[in-house]
Structure 1
Amino acid sequence: MRSTALPALLALLLLTGCAAARRAPACTSARASARASGEKQYVVILSMDAFRWDLADRARTPTLDSLRRAGCYAEIYPVFPSNTFPSHYSMATGLHPDRHGVVNNSFYDRTEGRTLSVFDARDVLTPGFWGGEPIWNTAERQGLTAHIFMWPGSEVPVGGRQATVWTRYSARPSYRERADWVVEAMTRPEEEIPDLVMWYFEQPDAAMHAAGPASPQAVAQAERIDSALCHFFREIRRSPVFERINFIVTADHGMTELAPERCVNLYGLLDTAQVVRTVAGNPLGIEVREGYTDEALRLLRRTPHLRAWHRDR
């Protein structure tokens, strides 16, 4: 499978219960009044990894459905490459990958002389891996507080700064446990409530990679997420700033089907003796020996369904 463009779910309104769309106008009016009066606003952002645009239509997701009906719903087109870490860090910084430096989940760094990977904790926890300024640092620099739960890029100081509260990634906590972290933060006394909360689910990406984007496993993960969100939206009503919380539910990229018969054997195209290294991923990184670059580009570009770029052209 590979990632692709998708609409995101932008839930800027909270419904009562899990599917009570008929009561949404009261929430809408209260939020509009709070904004108009200049009262302090709060932001809670959830990203569901690879939650492609049509998954909610194929699964039973009453919570997401009600948010889409009564809130705002917009399309997004992810950055290129549309992989988890480049996409999430672009959302956090507002920068394209070539500007913030996380240009893929894995990539060769000439300065380091080795391949860096988000799957290697040593690389992820290296401050030099991350450029730009993530939004949680912008908030903290302006005197606000940010609680960031497992969002890619939040585990390491960037520019010597980090969120007030951050959590190292682990797949072990359930969706509901993660929802409860956010509820706990937002139901404290008002003076202790963070201004910005960002949290992350690694599904349905993992299920889609394992079984396909249209698989029953992906649908099951979507329904598990929706159940956790139902719990979250029910519990968050206890927050003393409930009417002033702006909720955003989004995704970093989608995913599409691949099949063996639609794959290209690059070893049959290029002179492998001229290939110095490859870095797996989407897109694939290829470094060739000096003098072979133009020929490699010519061979790749003439191949149907392939696009090839030189990094400096």
Structure 2
Amino acid sequence: MKIYNEHIENFGVRVIYLFNTINSFCVLATIFSLGATYLVTPFPIAFLPMVGAAIVIFALMKIADWHPYYVPVALLSLIFLFVAYMPDYQVYAMALAGVAFFYLGVLLVINGGPQVIVGRDLTIPFRMLALCFTSVVPTTLSLPISVFFGYLLTSSVLMTGHVVDASLSLIPLLGALAVNVVGALVVRKFLPDNLPANQYRPSEPIATPFKKVVILNIDGARWDLVSQMNLPTLTRVMSEGSHVENGLLTVYRALTNPAFGTILTGARPQEHGIFDNNLGQSLKVEGLGDLVKITIYGCMHMNHFAKDRWETKIVSLPKIGIQKSDDVAMEWLLDDLRNDKKTRLFVFDYSEADFCGHSYGGKSKQYKEALRKVDERIAKVLEVIESLEDYEDTAVIICSDHGMHNLDHGYRIFRGESYVPCLFWGKRIKAGHVVEKDGMINDIGLTAAWMLGQGYPANAQGQVFDEVAR
């Protein structure tokens, strides 16, 4: 038995996302901070009220989806409670230090350690640390969001224990709670609903279905930057094929698993069941792989949203390194394109640009160089497709699941994380055609399904870009 295998890597990735995702981070940071604080500065414990407060505050944060728009309400309420109850500020300062220390441990060790192994660069954790101060995302790549919400949960538990133990008036506490309930509900009301603005399906199915559809996903590609870089292969694709002028809007949250779930089902995260990259989430609706035989290529992420009966070919980033992993996986794709006569949908995820964005930033020279390398790799795929007997009946969709802003993505606040490329290429794709309609990444799955002539996944919403086909 190998000491290191796919099962160990899968477990490791799951652990990383357990600590990395904002909801589970808040719970873990609160437990750590309360324990560390009590050892240094013991505080009164009213167990049941404190547990109740933790549940209530966690529920409110979940309703507001840990969104930065909720921060002003929660912060003002917290300040109000400090003024109203005048607790021992040493305890709360220690608690804040505990949350901050836990955050740094997660960023530098849990996040940064694997990045060093995959990227073969010891400077990555420190580069991430420099950028995390200005990141605003629902992961631990954002210091302001992670520390604030972790401390909100921790201090709320402490404040409740203080009020109950000292038999203080509950009026300020209940007043702050009422304000937070209203604030959370208002924020929730204005969160994106992921409903595509355009809903269109051709009245007739495609006359001659494509035998193969190849989806080449550039993980973490931001359309604003890609469209400015004059990448040779993508420029060629836009000349010989079609593209969506303004790019496609990704889903909320703009994270890999929910976004890929939407691409492969056409459904919103609210329906397909994957809301972030954390544990215990899987596709609950029909997807493209249920309509035709599918093979998905990429890193361990791909296993986390693909259904068990769909074929996946996973490359190990820690063993191979990010610089070579896309090339290794691409050889599998090219071999299957030449020899696999049964698979009709090939989905490939290029990981290097996403990795460089998370490590060095979404406008860094490393990120741009990764995009150039992906462009060169796509050229090789197109060359092989042109050599196939069924080239005329093969369609290529070049897209992305989400963009990149600063160090990360998720809240869909910034354009860089929100809009992604969408290009179409093939012998039967219109040359030089520009799709002027706005769209969402749901449209990728719907258009692929239309091209394959197999109907649409049951819960799919959005539009079909039938205008790109000749």
Task: Give the TM-score band, short-chain normalised.
Answer: 0.5 to 0.7
Pair 1:166-2:312 in alignment = yes
Query: In the TM superposition, what are the counterparts of 1:1-313 in structure 2 within 5 Å?
Result: 1=135, 38=208, 41-59=211-229, 61-74=231-244, 75-106=247-278, 116=279, 123=280, 129-139=282-292, 145-150=293-298, 152-154=301-303, 158=307, 162-163=309-310, 165-171=311-317, 172=320, 174-188=325-339, 192-257=341-406, 282=410
The letter for the 1-side match of 2:309 is Q
SS of equivalent residue, structure 2 residue 339: coil
From the superposition, tell whether residues 156 and 78 of structure 1 become closer, same or farther in structure 2 (CA, over 3 Å).
closer
From the superposition, tell whether residues 232 and 176 of structure 1 become closer, same or farther in structure 2 (CA, over 3 Å).
farther
Contact 2:296/2:302 (8 A) holds in 1: no
Contact 2:357/2:367 (8 A) holds in 1: yes
The letter for the 1-side match of 2:381 is F
Partners of 1:247 and 1:81 lie apart in 2 by: 26
Which 5+ residue runs of structure 1 have no aligned equivalent?
4-34, 107-115, 117-122, 140-144, 260-280, 284-313
SS of equivalent residue, structure 1 residue 239: coil
SS of equivalent residue, structure 1 residue 102: coil
| Residue correspondences, number | 202
Partners of 1:231 and 1:44 lie apart in 2 by: 13
From the superposition, tell whether residues 231 and 218 of structure 1 become closer, same or farther in structure 2 (CA, over 3 Å).
same
Partners of 1:249 and 1:223 lie apart in 2 by: 14
Residue 185 of structure 1 and its aligned partner are, at CA, apart by 1.3
User: Cα deviation per residue 1:194-235 (whole Å; 9 max; x = unaligned)?
Assistant: 211111112311111221111101111001111111222222
Identity of aligned residues (%): 22
Specify which structure has the higher proportion of helix: 2
From the superposition, tell whether residues 154 and 219 of structure 1 become closer, same or farther in structure 2 (CA, over 3 Å).
same
From the superposition, tell whether residues 175 and 93 of structure 1 become closer, same or farther in structure 2 (CA, over 3 Å).
same
Contact 2:359/2:407 (8 A) holds in 1: no
User: Cα deviation per residue 1:261-283 (whole Å; 9 max; x = unaligned)?
Assistant: xxxxxxxxxxxxxxxxxxxx945
Residue 2 of structure 1 and its aligned partner are, at CA, apart by 5.8
Contact 2:212/2:395 (8 A) holds in 1: yes
Instruction: Say which one has the larger Rg.
Output: 2
Q: Runs ≥4 in structure 1, deviation > 6 angstroms?
A: none
SS of equivalent residue, structure 2 residue 285: coil
Residue 58 of structure 1 and its aligned partner are, at CA, apart by 4.8
The letter for the 1-side match of 2:274 is V
The letter for the 2-side match of 1:137 is D
SS of equivalent residue, structure 2 residue 263: helix
The letter for the 2-side match of 1:96 is R
Residue 168 of structure 1 and its aligned partner are, at CA, apart by 2.9
Which 5+ residue runs of structure 2 have no aligned equivalent?
1-134, 138-205, 412-470
Partners of 2:294 and 2:219 lie apart in 1 by: 21
**Cα RMSD for the two superposed structures:** 2.9
The letter for the 2-side match of 1:136 is G
Partners of 1:195 and 1:154 lie apart in 2 by: 19
Identify the residue that residue 265 of structure 1 maps to in structure 2.
Answer: none
Residue 59 of structure 1 and its aligned partner are, at CA, apart by 3.8
Residue 154 of structure 1 and its aligned partner are, at CA, apart by 4.6
The letter for the 1-side match of 2:333 is V
Residue 57 of structure 1 and its aligned partner are, at CA, apart by 4.1
Contact 2:220/2:353 (8 A) holds in 1: yes
